[in-house]
Amino acid sequence: MTDHALLLVNLGSPASTSVADVRSYLNQFLMDPYVIDLPWPVRRLLVSLILIKRPAQSAHAYQSIWWQDGSPLVVISQRLQRVMSEQWKCGPVELAMRYGEPSIESALLKLAAKGQRKITLAPLYPQFADSTVTTVVEEARRVIREHRLDVQLNVLQPFYDEPEYIDALVASVRPHLEQSFDHLLLSFHGLPERHLQKLNPGHSLDGAGDCCQDASPQVLAKCYRGQCFRTAKAFAGQMGLADEQWSVSFQSRLGRAKWIEPYTEARLDELAKQGVKKLLVMCPAFVADCIETLEEIGDRGREQFRAAGGEDLVLVPCLNDDPQWAQALNALCLRAPLAL
């Protein structure tokens, strides 16, 4: 059977480390209403102010982690695509980025031109958020609608606690945990609190995380923070880690809005002051290493931890193109339901 295509979608990356390319990428990313959920005039003004200095700063960060073959995120995603092409027996496997190239539009049009009428869309995000999953699905729907494509769209659902995903996560991290370490920090990408409260009105957030950890199934379905805690607890439970051996934090804050806590930056200082010398950090919100893992944690985070009194911070690689992860992703995509 070769009539069921798979479209893998990740976040994206600038075309190069030039300031101009980084500015173009950031403009597309930040002007997405699912990323900065403000009225267009306010969003346009805010993004224009951000783009005054941010592109040069980000370009420097990208230069520090850029590979000879290009953006780590894109290169790793291409490797995963090749591995998935061997796993997915139903049809062709394409790769797209929500921002930058290759675009979701170009990938869908390519599949349609090949005569593919059934496509599973796979947003490569374990936990749900409007700024990741929803924007990918809505962009795919826009392309199908505007180009009048005759396709059936299935969508991979958030897989934050699916056994195949947790098993792959455990297998990839186990070699690192078998070495001596003082603490494991699971650093997830952060979100503004209003993103969560908008989806679940009345759902309060607190620094201890009790509310999210005890969320009802209805709230949990759209609670990014709660899903992150579920991932962490499932992982730690399967690894047999004691409560004091691990903790959760949230990174990558941008702007002045209140973001979900605890913050990774604060947690790094706290752990160092508590006497943690060797710290392992893994980033389970990402399935591919990128600027947020390699530069923000692997470079700046390590420097911060050492400056606060720690001795070593070891960044655990993401799942990337690990064969067991590809097998897990294949199983998850085969179960993806029809988009409503």
Annotated binding-site residue numbers for Fe(2+): 189, 292
Q: Tokens for 308?
A: 């606060």
What span, in angstroms and rounded, lies between the C-alpha atoms of 186 and 268?
A: 11
268 touches 290 (CB < 8 A) = no
d(CA 267, CA 231) in angstroms, rounded, equals: 19
How many CB atoms lie under 10 A from the CB of residue 322?
19
Helices (H), 66-132: 72-87, 104-113
Cis previous bond, 201, omega within 30 = no
Peptide bond into 163 cis (omega under 30): no
Cα–Cα distance for residue pair 93/2, rounded to 1 Å = 11
In terms of Cα–Cα distance, which of 118, 197, 180, 121 is closest to 151?
A: 118
User: What CA–CA distance (Å, rounded) separates 150 from 196?
Assistant: 34
- Beginning with the edge strand found earlier in the chain, give each strand of the sheet holding 246-251 in spatial order: 246-251, 183-189, 278-282, 312-315
Rounded Cα distance, 298 and 20, in Å: 25
Which is nearest to 254 in space by CA: 285, 290, 292, 222? 292
Q: How is residue 97 written in tokens?
A: 């980025």
Binding residues: 189, 292
Short-list 299, 303, 321, 312, CA closest to 63: 299
Strand partners, 8: 95, 122
Q: Which letter, b or e, does each residue of 204-221 get, where b requires 16 or more Cβ atoms within 10 Å of its Cβ? A: ebeeebeebbebeeebbe
